[in-house]
Each structure stands twice: as C-alpha cells, then as structure tokens.
C-alpha cells in the first residue's frame, strides 16, 4: 500500500506542478493579451476571449492579477479590474493575507492597491479600517483621501478638548492632503484656530509671469495662428499686436488659488477685451531632472509649451474651469525650465464669458506641489496690484 501511495505521489505531484505551471503561464499570457489592448479598439477581439478566462480564475490568483496592473495602460487596466470584480463577486473567500501583503507593497500600482484594500474591506471591514490608519501619505489618492478624512474627523473631536491637539492634527492632514475640497476644509478649520496658510505655496501655483499681448483672435482664428512668442521667447523684443506694438511685462497674482486674471493685465473697456490672444511665460528651476505634471485650470482656449515643446491645447471657450482641470505629464530638466501659456479670449459678450484667466501649477503624480527653486515669496495684494494694467479711459 505504501509503495502504491508513493508511486501515486511520484506520478501525480509532478503532474500537478506541471498543471500549476501551465495555469500560471496561461494566466500570464491572457493578462499580457489584455495589456496589449490599445487605441481605437486595437486588440479587443483577442482580449474578449482572454477576459472570459481571466474572469473565471480562482480568487487565489487575485494578487497575481492585481500585479498585472503595475504596467497596464489605462484602457488595459479597466479590462483587468473588471476581471477582478467578476472573480471577487463569485468567490466564497478571498486570500486576505496575500491581498494585505500586496497592499503593503507601495511599489505596486496605486489603483491596484486601492482595489486590494476594497477587496479586504468587502470581507473584513475592521481590518481594512485598521490598515487605513497608516496611509495618510499613501501613493494611492483614494487611500490617502480616506486616511486624511479620518484625521480631519479626529481633529474635529480634538477641538473639544483644546485647540493645540486639533491644530497639530490639522497641519498633519494639510501636509498629506491632495484633494482640493479637503485642503479647503482643513485651511478653513486652521483659520478658525488662528493659523494662516499660504495656499499658493501649498498648491504650488505659479503666480509670477511675464505677459505679452493682446494679439488678434478675431473669429477665434488666433488659436491656430502662430504668433512670435510660439517661435521663441525673447523678453526684450517688441512685436506688433492687435492694437499696436506689444512688449513683455511682469504680472503677479495674489489670489490664494493662483488665478492669473488677464483682464487685470490687459484691462479693456466695459467687460474687457474680446477676440484677443495673450501669452504668459515663466522660468521654473528644478533641483534635478524628474517626472512631474503641469496642471492647468482654464475656461478659455489655450496651449501650453514646456521648453518649447507643445504639451497640449484645447479650443473650448467658457464651459467651466477648476483646479487641475487638465494634467500634462512632463520630465523637468535639471535647472531652467520654460513654461509658455497661450490664452485666447473669444467674442462672446454674455456675463459668463468675461473671464480670461488661468491657474497653473507643477506637481508630482499625487498632486503634491513641486516648487521652483527660485520661487519668490507669495506676493501680497498691493505688490500684485502694482503689476496690473490701467483701464483705458472710456
């Protein structure tokens, strides 16, 4: 009998290991097919078949599947996460230990780690809550958001016992917060506790620019037209503008959220200039070369260049703006980096079409401010007003 059992083990074990290897290889191959999907539905037919197999994998494979998100493009990431949804919804139990280990490894994709946390939360909410406590600096924005929210709640309770502890908690929360609404909530609370926060610096808004304009934008033709600043920035040169020669000049903003109001730089009669284009240029000094994001909020048509390279542009007017409305990845050069913004105003005359403005900051992938090495102190209102234009007489 023992001999028989030994024979079975000798025969079956390699077979089982072989099957395991095969299964692992097939899963990896299927995940790779999902990762190969591209624009305009490229790779969809193959991915459809592979997804059905991945979505019926065992729950034990979830950490391996989540790992595939590390180098998946945004489209492929959705194929993979939908398979995770399907597996988890059918599973009687989840491998919580290996999911917890996956979550703890911050080298993994932040969204994959958040997904792992949600899987844990779906089965062991108490454990998930405990894990969240240490995540206020997490690379995952959602994990960080929820951890900061709990810190804000704690500060609210601490206020009842005295302001010192609440102030400490709120400052810690502010340092970690990336969500705009949370930052506004925290700074409002700190203000009530007698603290003042430099929001420009907190967000990293750039508010010291050289401006030139107005150039023409009749019938919105200025967006596509190439003006001299787009071919090279020379702050000492004079160019023909829409209403005569124009030169570069400094413009500062004291707005807490870094709003660069070009109607203050180039005041026009009545509701301001219409059918015009202007440029804003600044030099950003980086300590070292590094990946970063240029983030823009703007409700006018715009283009942005980094070191002479066009990052993106959009010809939409007056449909709304918000902080970080557009995110453009860049690699900062060690030392000097030039940023150029083109801002077009159209000819609409309704109340909600007066604005001609933008807000721009440089930050890391989580939205944490990256400040220029030569960043001047945040300007005060009087200092900023001194750089604003004078409204022409009617």
Partner 1 sequence: MKAPLSMIASYAVRGIIYSALMLTALPLCTATHAGIPPGWPAFQGPNSDGTGNATISELNDGRIAWRVDLPGSGLSSPIITDEKIFLTCSSGSEQDRLHVICLDAETGARTWHRQLWATGRTMCHKKTNVAAPSPCTDGKHIYALFSSNDLACFDLTGRLVWLRGITADYPNVSNSLGMSSSLVVTNGVVVAQVENDSESYAIGFDTTTGQNRWRLDRPKAANWTSPTLLAAGLVGLQSKNGIDAIDVANGGVAWQYTGGASTIPSSCRHGDILFVPSQGLVALSCSNLIDKAPQQLWKSSRLSPGTPSPVASDETVFTISRGDVLTAGNTADGERRWQLRLKGPFSSTPVVLEDKLLAINEEGVAQLVAFSDDQAEVIGTLDLESTVLASPAVSSAGILIRGESSLWKLRVDTE
**Contact residues for partner 1, defined by CB under 8 A:** 16-17, 19-24, 26-27, 37, 39-42, 44-45, 47-49, 51-53, 55-58, 60-61, 64, 74-75, 77-79, 81-83, 85-86, 89, 111, 142, 145, 179, 181, 299, 312, 314-317, 319-322, 325-326
- Residue 306: closest CA among 278, 328, 335, 279: 328
Which lies closer to partner 1 via its Cβ, residue 45 or residue 232?
45
Give the nearest distance from C-beta 60 to partner 1 in angstroms: 5
| Element housing 239 (H / E) | strand 239-241
What's the min distance (Å) between Cβ of 191 and partner 1? 22
Q: How far is the CB of 226 from partner 1 (least distance, A)?
A: 19
Least Å distance between CB 254 and partner 1? 26
CA distance 14 to 341: 64
**How many Cα atoms within 13 Å fall on the side-chain side of residue 63?**
14
Q: Which is nearer to partner 1, 87 or 206 (CB)?
A: 87
Q: Provide the minimum distance between the beta carbon of 309 and partner 1 in the complex, in angstroms, as a whole number.
A: 16
CA distances from 300 to 75, 110, 230 (A): 29, 33, 18
What is the full DSSP assignment across 250-312?
A: EEE---TT--EEHHHHS--STT---SEEEEEEEEEEESS-EEEEEEEEESSEEEEEETTEEEE
Provide, rounded to whole angstroms, the least separation between the CB of residue 245 and partner 1. Answer: 32
Helices 125-132 and 110-123, interaxial angle, to 10°?
140
Identify which of residues 93 and 236 has a Cβ nearer to partner 1 in the complex.
93
What are the tokens at 256?
């807490």
> Whole-number minimum distance, CB 209 to partner 1, in Å?
23
Q: How far is the CB of 37 from partner 1 (least distance, A)?
A: 8
Cα 368 to Cα 378: distance, rounded to the nearest angstrom: 18
Smaller CB separation from partner 1, 20 or 334: 20
Q: For partner 1, give the closer residue by CB, 70 or 85.
A: 85
Supply the minimum distance, in Å, between the C-beta of residue 90 and partner 1.
10
Q: Which is nearer to partner 1, 277 or 372 (CB)?
A: 277
Rg of the chain over CA atoms, in angstroms?
27
Name the pairing type of β-strands 309-314 and 301-306.
Answer: antiparallel
Calpha distance 107→289 (Å, rounded): 21
Rounded to 5 degrees, φ, ψ at 325 are: -60, -40
The C-alpha atoms of residue 252 and residue 315 are separated, in whole angstroms, by: 25
The number of residues in the chain equals 394
Nearer to partner 1, 77 or 278 (CB): 77
Q: Which is nearer to partner 1, 13 or 164 (CB)?
A: 13
Q: Which is nearer to partner 1, 240 or 352 (CB)?
A: 352
Structure token pair of residue 353 = 């079409």
């Amino acid at each position: 009998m023992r001999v028989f059992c030994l024979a079975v083990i000798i025969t079956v074990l390699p077979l089982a290991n072989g099957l395991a290897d095969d299964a692992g290889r097939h899963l990896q191959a299927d995940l790779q097919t999902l990762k190969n999907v591209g624009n305009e539905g490229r790779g969809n037919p193959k991915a459809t078949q592979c997804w059905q197999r991945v979505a019926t994998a065992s729950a034990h494979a979830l950490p391996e599947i989540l790992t595939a998100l590390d180098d998946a493009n945004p489209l492929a990431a959705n194929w993979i996460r939908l398979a995770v949804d399907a597996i988890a919804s059918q599973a009687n139990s989840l491998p919580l230990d290996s999911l917890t280990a996956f979550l703890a490894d911050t080298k993994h994709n932040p969204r994959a780690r958040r997904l792992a946390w949600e899987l844990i939360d779906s089965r062991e909410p108490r454990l998930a809550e405990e894990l969240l406590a240490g995540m206020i600096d997490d690379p995952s924005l959602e994990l960080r958001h929820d951890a900061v929210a709990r810190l804000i709640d704690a500060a609210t309770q601490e206020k009842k016992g005295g302001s010192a502890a609440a102030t400490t908690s709120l400052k810690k929360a502010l340092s970690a917060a990336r969500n705009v609404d949370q930052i506004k909530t925290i700074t409002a609370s700190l203000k009530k506790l007698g603290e003042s926060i430099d929001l420009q610096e907190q967000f990293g808004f750039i508010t010291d620019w050289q401006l030139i304009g107005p150039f023409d934008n009749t019938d919105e033709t200025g967006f596509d037209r190439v003006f001299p600043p787009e071919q090279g920035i020379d702050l000492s040169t004079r160019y023909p503008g829409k209403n005569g020669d124009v030169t570069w000049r400094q413009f500062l903003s004291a707005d807490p959220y870094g709003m660069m109001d070009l109607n203050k730089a180039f005041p026009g009669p009545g509701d301001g200039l219409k059918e015009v284009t202007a440029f804003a240029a600044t030099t950003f000094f980086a300590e070292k070369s590094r990946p970063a994001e240029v983030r823009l909020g703007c409700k006018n048509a715009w283009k942005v260049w980094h070191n002479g390279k066009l990052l993106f542009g959009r010809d939409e007017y007056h449909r709304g703006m918000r902080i970080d409305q557009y995110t453009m990845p860049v690699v900062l050069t060690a030392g000097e980096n030039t940023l150029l913004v083109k801002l077009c105003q159209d000819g609409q005359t309704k109340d909600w079409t007066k604005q001609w403005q933008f807000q721009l900051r440089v930050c890391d992938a989580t939205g944490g401010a990256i400040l220029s090495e030569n960043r001047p102190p945040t300007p005060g209102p009087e200092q900023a007003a001194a750089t604003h234009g004078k409204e022409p007489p009617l």
